Structure 1
Amino acid sequence: MIALLPDPAGLLGFLGAGLILNLTPGADVMFALASGARGGPRAGIAAALGVSLGCLFHVALTAGGVAALLAASPAAFDAIRYAGAAYLLWLAVRSWRAGLATAEARAGGGLAAIGRGALTNILNPKVALFILAFLPQFADPARGPVWAQLLLLGGLFALTAFFVTALYGAAGGALRTRLARRARLLNRIAAGVFAGLAARLALA
């Protein structure tokens, strides 16, 4: 398995690039932050785990060549994109209508947050295209099967993404803990974030 990885310099470059990309606030980071603000630190970390699982789904698609087919089919790309936007908009409506102490918030939203994070990431075809463009740059047929290299590199990328996104999600949860008496305001802030992500996905 180690033989499938780039040389130390190449691996360091891959991990460094992945870390920089993950540290840059994007849709996944904003989703984890909003989830944490809505349901607490556990929900934010759980959302990050879901996002990473969704990332692994796109890695598998890339390794299997499906992502390339998606990139070549504008109709399929748009269908998935609009489905993702609709799902985020639905989350926005739920957050806006949430009361001061919903059962989901009290429970921390663990499994539900994982599912939301995974589904949000899976329904974002831009993630598939990013993975398709990023991972192959660090693969080399001389080291062995390219599909195996992509899976291994993608796993490393998803792992680093989880830790970074989880920190953001926990930070969002800390915000909720400090402002617990303003839960309604935080729910509406989360709703605004989800709605913004939906618009960004649908209109971009």
Structure 2
Amino acid sequence: MGERGRLRLHTEEAPVAAASAEELLSRVGAGDETAFASLYDLIAGPVLGLATRVLRNHAQAEEVAQEVLVEVWRKATRFAPERGSALSWVLMIAHRRAVDRVRSHQAVLDREDKVGRMDVQRPFDEVTESTMASLDQERVRQCLSALTELQRESIVLAYYNGYTYPEVAEVLKVAPGTVKTRIRDGLIRLRDCLGVDR
């Protein structure tokens, strides 16, 4: 049975192995975890390669690749085969994520440089910095979860991901003034929750 058993097993598995990325992505959209494992094997290498080329930092590229794979799992139903191949769609997501990471990192550097040259901090930066420096992360997490979703999204994008206010506004598709208000109100609520003195 040895050789014939292996041959039969290989033949039974052939449809899964032969499935195209498009077919697998369609099955992933229906919640098929086995299809996602096969899709992962097909796309993980190209995604990591693209992220590494854009970021030029393997550790960051691995983080971005993981984010992309999670996004593919969550948004598989949005794939439209008439617009292009599954791999192109996945690599477009990967490129966008990697470029966002570069921009985010650059925004942080630019902000630090500007603050260093002007020796002036943006309003509420002091609250954020003293909060992060003096309180443990668990308490901060709890207080962040007490904010409204809109406040939390704005603060996380601006202070944890390094986005500027206009970039946050673009990502959330709201006016820059709305972003400033959300962040200001959210930071006030954070300060009160954490007991940070003004």
TM-score tier by shorter-chain length is under 0.3
Greater C-alpha radius of gyration = 2
Which structure has more relative contact order (CA 8 Å, sep 6+)? It is 1
Tell me which protein shows more helix as a share of its residues. Answer: 1
| TM-score between the two structures when normalised by the length of structure 2 | 0.27
| TM-score between the two structures when normalised by the length of structure 1 | 0.26
